[in-house]
């Protein structure tokens, strides 16, 4: 399938435009990192705790921030998470000085939010923050169905089943019960429903999940992520140098460094978080970007044998790029549509991963045309001039 009929674009004639654009983008990104004191690393790398909380209504962010601050809890961020209509927030607690059980911070957050937002329900259990096991245990204590005459196993199984129906309903409703009315359609006994209404209340929030990483583990993950990217670039350099010529390998790796720097710089400019999933996207980007470069360099090698010896390397590279242009547009275009759809509809969890791929696909295709190829031509011209002087 040909989208363009016999393209004749002078790509290398526009090399200074490409290099100028790259320098501006990279310089802006590096400047942003310097001004901000580095990248915005996620909990994976810095250590700490992320607590995701869902509310019945729109969460009062300022109220929550001030409540956490008054309680002495060092919350680095309290931000809206995912779509606004989902009423979810993310609370980020900074790493501790020692590798301790950071998950205990979620208990503190629960107590602070309950004191601030559910102050009128002292002495009652929060139905939106109890596990199935905890709910079953409380029902066993209350024993609304009078199971004392039954065996212990039978009583436990009975209330486990009742509790599971309630928590399953809560899960189906997005993790939070608005009120007690749905319980009456669950097939619970009337005594259990009555006990739930008397001893429990549907809290105004629920803690959806907690992610904790110790600072030593975070540092180790950061070192391993850096090494993974570095070793992948070194592997690409060796592979292309052996398959083609050393300068082709150097040019390809410089282009890959360019892609990673541009992507990371844009993350810094937009204040996006660098997490393990973003590192995975960068590694994917390295593999995908080198694929385009290899296709063009392979065509260059073929054309060097086919085209007349009088043809310059710049002319051969231009011809090779134009010959593979339709293939580049089709493969990169289809992949871009897939990752862009992932970015648009994948939700907040996949946002960093998919955004890195969107930026990386654009820069990867661009760097093959505007960065790697000019480096090869520049080196060839430099070598020719040096030979002429000897």
User: What integer pLDDT is reported at residue 17 of this predicted model?
Assistant: 92
User: What integer pLDDT is reported at residue 50 of this predicted model?
Assistant: 85
pLDDT at 67 over 70: yes
pLDDT of 279-326, one tens digit each? 888 888 888 888 888 888 888 888 888 876 667 888 888 999 998 888
pLDDT of 167-204, one tens digit each? 999 999 989 999 999 998 888 999 999 999 999 999 99
Contacting residues for 147 by C-beta, under 8 A, at least 6 apart: 154, 155, 158, 159
The class (CATH top level) of 48-118 is: alpha beta
pLDDT of 337-357, one tens digit each? 999 999 998 887 788 999 999
Average pLDDT score over the chain:
86
pLDDT at 252 over 50: yes
pLDDT of 38-47, one tens digit each? 888 888 788 7
User: What integer pLDDT is reported at residue 99 of this predicted model?
Assistant: 44
Q: What percent of the chain has pLDDT over 90?
A: 34
pLDDT of 275-289, one tens digit each? 888 988 888 888 888
Q: What's the token pair of residue 245?
A: 């010529």
Q: Strands of 205-213's sheet, edge to edge?
A: 75-81, 88-94, 48-55, 205-213
pLDDT of 116-145, one tens digit each? 999 888 889 999 999 999 999 999 999 999
Task: Classify each residue of 66-102 as buried b or exposed e, where b means 16 or more C-beta atoms within 10 Å of its C-beta.
Answer: ebbeeeeeebeebeebbeeeebbbbbbbebbeeeeeb
User: What integer pLDDT is reported at residue 229 of this predicted model?
Assistant: 79
Task: State the pairing for strand pair 88-94/48-55.
Answer: antiparallel
Every domain of the chain and the residues it spans: 12-42+214-388, 48-118, 124-203
pLDDT at 1 over 90: no
Confidence bin at 97 (pLDDT 50/70/90) = very low
12-42+214-388 — its CATH code? 1.20.1640.10
Q: What's the token pair of residue 160?
A: 């486990």
Phi then psi for 30, rounded to 5 degrees? -65, -40
pLDDT at 96 over 80: no
pLDDT at 153 over 60: yes
User: What integer pLDDT is reported at residue 2 of this predicted model?
Assistant: 65
Residue 242 CB neighbours (<10 A): 10
User: What integer pLDDT is reported at residue 98 of this predicted model?
Assistant: 47
pLDDT of 268-277, one tens digit each? 999 898 988 8
Please compute the mean of the pLDDT values over residues 229-252 and round it to a whole number. 81
User: What integer pLDDT is reported at residue 100 of this predicted model?
Assistant: 47
């Amino acid at each position: 399938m040909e989208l363009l009929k016999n393209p004749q674009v002078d790509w290398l004639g526009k090399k200074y435009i490409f290099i100028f654009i790259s320098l501006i983008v990279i310089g802006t990104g590096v400047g942003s990192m310097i001004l901000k004191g580095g990248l915005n690393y996620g909990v994976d790398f810095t250590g700490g705790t992320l607590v995701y909380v869902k509310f019945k209504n729109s969460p009062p962010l300022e109220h929550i921030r001030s409540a956490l601050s008054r309680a002495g809890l060092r919350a680095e961020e309290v931000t809206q998470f995912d779509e606004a209509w989902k009423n979810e927030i993310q609370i980020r607690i900074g790493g501790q000085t020692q590798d301790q059980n950071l998950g205990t911070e979620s208990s503190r957050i629960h107590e602070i939010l309950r004191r601030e937002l559910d102050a009128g329900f002292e002495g009652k259990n929060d139905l939106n923050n109890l596990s199935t096991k905890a709910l079953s245990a409380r029902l066993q204590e209350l024993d609304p169905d009078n199971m004392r005459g039954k065996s212990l196993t039978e009583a436990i199984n009975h209330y486990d089943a009742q509790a599971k129906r309630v928590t399953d309903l809560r899960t189906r409703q997005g993790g939070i019960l608005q009120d007690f009315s749905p319980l009456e359609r669950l097939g619970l006994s009337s005594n259990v429903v009555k006990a739930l209404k008397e001893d429990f209340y549907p809290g105004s929030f629920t803690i959806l999940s907690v992610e904790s990483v110790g600072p030593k583990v975070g540092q180790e993950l950061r070192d391993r992520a850096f090494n993974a990217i570095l070793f992948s670039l070194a592997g690409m350099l060796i592979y292309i140098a052996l398959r083609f010529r050393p300068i082709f390998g150097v040019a390809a790796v410089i282009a890959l460094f360019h892609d990673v720097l541009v992507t990371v710089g844009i993350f810094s400019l937009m204040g996006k978080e660098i997490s393990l999933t973003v590192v995975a996207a960068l590694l994917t980007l390295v593999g995908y970007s080198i694929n385009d470069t290899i296709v063009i360099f392979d065509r260059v090698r073929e054309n060097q044998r086919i085209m007349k010896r009088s043809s310059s390397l710049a002319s051969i590279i231009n011809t090779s790029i134009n010959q593979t242009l339709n293939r580049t547009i089709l493969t990169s275009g289809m992949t871009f549509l897939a990752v862009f759809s992932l970015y648009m509809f994948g939700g907040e969890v996949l946002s960093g991963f998919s955004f890195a791929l969107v930026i990386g696909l654009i820069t990867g295709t661009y760097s093959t045309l505007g960065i790697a190829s000019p480096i090869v031509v520049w080196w060839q011209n430099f070598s020719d001039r040096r030979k002429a002087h000897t």
